[in-house]
Amino acid sequence: MEQKLINLTSISHKALQLGGKLCSKAENVMKECRSDVENIEKLYPKLRFLWSELECQVQAIEKLGEFAAKQNGILLQFYDNKEQELSTIVEKLDSTLDGLHVKYVDSTIRENAIAIEQLNRGNNSNTLGVELGLEFDIKDNNKLKDISEKVSLYDYVEEQGIQELKLKTQEEVMAIQRHYNTSSKVIENINNELKKLDEILMNNNISLEESGVDFSHEKFSILEQETQNMAETLESLARHYDQVTAALKAFQSHSNAKSMLDISVLEKDTDIIPTIVQELQEGLQFIDSVSEEVRVRNHIYKASYEEANKLFNELDGFTNNFENYANILKELETHFEKDSAMVDRLLDELLNLNLWYEEFSKAYDQMIIEIDRRHKVKEQHEKAAEEYLNKLEGLYIEEIQQRDSFFGNYGRYLPSDLCPPILETPIRYEIIPQDGTRLPVLSPKALSEAQENLQKYRERISKS
């Protein structure tokens, strides 16, 4: 029996020593874990603040990017529309001007204008030539030369003004394109910044939805409970060891107790010691496992904090660029508002200029028709005047005959001083035109071409 007690004591002592070592390791792990928990408690609020600020910064940049993209789309659409509109208007204007190039002024009209100018020059020379002298002659000759050189309707066009307006409009449209290019560059820079931020944010595997402090406290509570369980198990091993050593001492010191001592309970308790030790080992493994979770979380938080802090510092550097981009976009908006209004105004001027020269071409044809109409009216007036004049002449002759008859019958009987007016001759009327016409006499070809042009114009209008 003594040997059994010695064996039980040895087993119990070894188990107690091993259990103590396991509990000591568990306590050391707990100390390390407590340090990790404390660090998490300090880091987590800072980490949450940093990432929250980063998200706000990213959202601000994204909003700026959205604004820039919207502005860029407006610029592109406006530029495309106005470039196409400018091309269409210039094409129409060039076509109109080409038509004026080949629309020649009728020779009778040109000759008529030269003749009138020469007549006016002669009249002016009589009244002003002596006073103005050589300067008057030079100006007058230049004007006469200018009239003679205007062969087609295009010669009446202010070509330089048209080219300047075209160039000015093209420059303003190109200004919109430059605004678009600037906007595109800003968008590219913003997108590059967002790409870098997104990559960093994507590499952040931490979920801040779950509280890091709650996680660490929960895990540490689990460790405390497990450590408490291991301590209680170690206490049970110590009690068992005390019981076994007490039994051995009693057996060795009291010979009469040998027959009375029952060690069956101690043997049973000793039999389950391996199971108890295994539980302590599993408890230590569990503590190591949970502590590792906390350690890993602490490490991740540290790395994430360092990364966030680095990114935050980079964002501080980006702030100046961010403000610069915002100012550029604001300036673009202001410039676009002014330049777009200028583009619309210039395009309207070009469009009105084209309409003006279209009407100029039509007005020339209408002038031909009007000249012909006036000649016809003049012929009608002359015919009517001739008819009236013939009638008046007939009445005049009739009146002479009546008066001759009167004097033949009664004149010799009337004293001359009785009614002197009775001797007056009858009134004779004349039709004198107030002003003559200086309109040219058109060629049949000119009239025919004008009528054809107006007919084509009416057909084009009806189709549109």
Q: pLDDT in tens for each of the 464 residues of the chain?
A: 567 767 767 777 787 787 788 888 878 888 887 877 778 777 778 877 877 777 787 888 889 999 999 999 999 999 999 999 999 999 999 999 999 999 999 989 988 888 888 887 766 655 544 444 444 444 555 666 677 788 999 999 999 999 999 999 999 999 999 999 999 999 999 898 888 777 766 765 555 555 556 667 677 677 777 778 878 877 877 877 777 777 767 767 765 555 555 566 666 766 777 788 788 788 888 878 878 887 887 787 788 778 777 777 777 767 778 888 999 999 999 999 999 999 999 999 999 999 999 999 999 999 999 999 999 999 999 999 999 999 999 999 999 999 999 999 999 999 989 999 999 999 999 888 887 778 999 989 999 999 999 999 898 888 86
pLDDT for res 128 = 47
- Answer yes or no: are the C-beta atoms of 147 and 110 closer than 8 Å: yes
pLDDT for res 134 = 44
> Which tokens hold the place of 40?
């998490």
- Answer yes or no: are the C-beta atoms of 26 and 283 closer than 8 Å: yes
3-state helix vs strand vs coil in the chain, percent to 5:
90, 0, 10
pLDDT for res 135 = 47
pTM of the model as a whole:
0.66
Beta bridge partners of 104: 152
Q: What angle do CA 371, 373, 377 make, to 5 degrees?
A: 115
The Cα–Cα gap between 139 and 170 comes to 37
- Answer yes or no: are the C-beta atoms of 389 and 431 closer than 8 Å: yes
pLDDT for res 229 = 80
The Cα–Cα gap between 211 and 222 comes to 17
pLDDT for res 266 = 66
- Answer yes or no: are the C-beta atoms of 280 and 230 closer than 8 Å: yes
| SS3 assignment, position 26 | helix
Residues 6+ apart with CB under 8 A from 257: 250, 251
Tally of residues, the chain: 464
Residues 6+ apart with CB under 8 A from 438: 112, 116
> Which tokens hold the place of 209?
């939805």
